[in-house]
Chains A and B, each alone.
Chain A
Amino acid sequence: MGTKEEARGTLSSTDFGVAASAFILSWNTICSSFPPWTWVLSHHQVEGYLSLENILLSSTQEEHGELSCPGPGKHSHQEDPIDVDDATLVHTNPCKVHYCDLHIIYCNSYRVPVLYFRAYDSDGEPLGFDEIEKDLPAYSKKALSDSKWTFITQEEHPYLNRPWYKLHPCGTSEWMKLLFHADDALAKTGVTIELYLVAWLSVVGHVVGLRIPLEMMKQL
């Protein structure tokens, strides 16, 4: 990543690809009990993006909702707790099972990644934002209302011709700049590109209730 980009908190599309590969490797190794993030090529082969789908949005009795894995059918329900701070998977009310897909897509205009997501019930029916919000943990609801960093709108997915929810990129470069400059050692070791997405998702994931395992965060 050129120093100019680094200084601005942005990254080139090539660097996004590099960051994505590193992120996939890291996540799939550290969170092997989770479904893997995958790299998907848009149907016209022009651009690729990161995808994590069929994540169970579970609502617990005491705590709030949290994006937990595994999704239904593909993975077992019994999981060992991973290096996450608190509660893991809790059985949900089968009538109220909600799922969510996350896509991380590079935005050529703002030169940053952008998070797109959608949620649906077990019949595949899309969920409105009110329903999604109910499933989110309290810390997410707070992050959402703290609109300094985030702003969610319903927009068209860049490749799939369907409405998805999008977390606005405006301001991403600002806090990415802060994240990287906060740690001189990080800047000097030159591994910033590879850790870009881990850092980015640690902030953005917060908003949709996705927790980055501690072990991944330790790299930062």
Chain B
Amino acid sequence: MEEAQKYVWEGAIPLQIHLHESEVTTLPTPPSALILAPRIGYLPLLVPQIKPHFSNALPPGSPDTVWFDYNGLPLKWYIPTGVLFDLLCAEPERPWNLTVHFRGYPSNILVPCEGEDSVKWSFINSLKEAAYIINGNCKNVMNMSQPDQVELWRSVLNGNLEAYVRISSKLRLGTVGDEYTDGGGQGQVKTGRVPVRLYVWSVSEDFDDLEDAPQIDSWDKISYINRPVEIHGEEGNYFTLQDAVKSILPEYFPNKSSTNEESSRDEDENEQTVPSEEGEKYLSENVESCYPTHNVEIKLVRIQGIEPKMEIPFSWVVKNLTNPEHYLHICVCLKVPQVL
């Protein structure tokens, strides 16, 4: 068992959670709840710990679904806690101050959540997707026995890495990355796909201190990119984290290889579209998409709370920093020059 994996599973974010003022019905206001939230866990799973802390203060009547916000931004419950923290706190805030709500679930913004069951469903779904990306099918996940499924989920709930490894190894979800760290690059050269979820936010100006980084006050400021990284056999050991990130952002970092059909293809499509009142919108959008690519800079890459050197072999990152559902979540800050 890799050291790094252990650290990842033990990683936790200290949270300071206070009840939203509109829901406080007692004096004095209840003190904040201080909780250590596992990085690889999810906020709704903490509700059993949090609720008793505030139950006396809540207004009467049955509560709605619990939800959280950070500085007014409703938090997406299906994103692992560690990723939310890495993404929304450019300068890590310890403890992380969150607000909990037991009423007024913003169902126009957040997908419904029915506690642990919803989180488990979302987790298994992501696992299936990852399995499909890695193996080309989700058979091994779909065919998991009921006890195995229960144990797998429980291992995630309890942060039990040993139990997790025992069950998940049956799923045969080793990726291309494994071949290079174990075999030293010899033997079969394989092309494979690695499940990655990228959370990209852009700034137009440099900032020296992370504290000066602009606040993310809306999810629209973040581009969520759910795209697998493709590793081609020959690249093997030389494929770095930087290569990986750039490979799934071809719009900002066009591939040097000749198979760069994507950007030219998009232009063709816009020409073929039947002109309508939207036609002008396409044209202006097309112009905007031509970023002066030599000026796009990767300012920050954060995975599991660390900022690895960009030259690190991607295979190491995959092997050690993935989440239990076999996805690698990467927070990226890009500096993109403003288009005039």
Q: Which residues of A contact B94 (CB under 8 A)?
A: none
Interface residues of A (CB under 8 A from B): 8, 13-14, 17-18, 20-21, 24-25, 28, 36, 38-39, 41-46, 48, 108-110, 126, 154-156, 158-159, 161-163, 170
| B311 → chain A closest CB, angstroms | 25
Q: Is the C-beta of B270 less than 8 angstroms from some C-beta in chain A?
A: yes
| B165 → chain A closest CB, angstroms | 24
Residue of A48, A110, A154, A156 touching B132 (CB-CB under 8 A): A110
Instruction: Give the nearest-CB partner of B274 in chain A.
Output: A28
A39-B282, A45-B288 as given contacts; A163 in contact with B269, CB under 8 Å: no
A13-B262, A163-B111, A163-B112 as given contacts; A46 in contact with B274, CB under 8 Å: no
Q: Is the C-beta of B91 less than 8 angstroms from some C-beta in chain A?
A: no
What are 20 A-B pairs at a CB distance below 8 A? A8-B136, A17-B265, A18-B265, A21-B269, A21-B273, A24-B272, A28-B274, A36-B274, A38-B276, A38-B278, A44-B200, A44-B202, A46-B225, A48-B269, A108-B227, A126-B108, A161-B109, A161-B219, A163-B110, A170-B138
Q: Which residues of A contact B7 (CB under 8 A)?
A: none
A42-B223, A109-B132, A163-B107 known, 5 other contacts, Cβ within 8 Å:
A38-B278, A43-B220, A45-B251, A48-B266, A159-B224
Number of interface residues of B (CB under 8 A): 44
Residue of A17, A108, A154 touching B111 (CB-CB under 8 A): A154
Q: Which residues of B contact A109 (CB under 8 A)?
A: 129, 132-133, 195, 226, 228
| A214 → chain B closest CB, angstroms | 21
Measured CA separation A44–B200 after assembly (Å): 10
> CB distance A36 to B276 under 8 Å?
yes
> CB distance A25 to B129 under 8 Å?
no
| B45 → chain A closest CB, angstroms | 19
Q: Is the C-beta of B117 less than 8 angstroms from some C-beta in chain A?
A: no
| B270 → chain A closest CB, angstroms | 7
Q: Which residues of A contact B129 (CB under 8 A)?
A: 109-110
Residue of B111, B223, B265 touching A14 (CB-CB under 8 A): B265
Q: Is the C-beta of B307 less than 8 angstroms from some C-beta in chain A?
A: no
| A57 → chain B closest CB, angstroms | 20
Q: Which residues of B contact A156 (CB under 8 A)?
A: 76, 78, 111
| B326 → chain A closest CB, angstroms | 12
Contacts of B127-161 to chain A: CB distance below 8 A: 128-129, 132-133, 136, 138
Q: Which residues of B contact A25 (CB under 8 A)?
A: 272, 274
Q: Which residues of A contact B133 (CB under 8 A)?
A: 109
> CB distance B249 to A46 under 8 Å?
yes
> CB distance B224 to A158 under 8 Å?
yes
Q: Is the C-beta of B289 less than 8 angstroms from some C-beta in chain A?
A: yes
Q: Is the C-beta of B182 less than 8 angstroms from some C-beta in chain A?
A: no
Measured CA separation A126–B111 after assembly (Å): 13
Measured CA separation A25–B275 after assembly (Å): 11
Q: Which residues of A contact B162 (CB under 8 A)?
A: none
| A66 → chain B closest CB, angstroms | 24
A126-B108, A155-B111, A162-B108 as given contacts; A46 in contact with B223, CB under 8 Å: yes
Instruction: Give the nearest-CB partner of B112 in chain A.
Output: A154
| A218 → chain B closest CB, angstroms | 21
> CB distance B272 to A21 under 8 Å?
yes
> CB distance A20 to B228 under 8 Å?
no
Residue of B109, B136, B195, B278 touching A162 (CB-CB under 8 A): B109
| A154 → chain B closest CB, angstroms | 6
Q: Is the C-beta of B285 less than 8 angstroms from some C-beta in chain A?
A: yes
Measured CA separation A109–B230 after assembly (Å): 11
Measured CA separation A46–B285 after assembly (Å): 11
Q: Which residues of B contact A46 (CB under 8 A)?
A: 223, 225, 249, 251
> CB distance A161 to B226 under 8 Å?
no
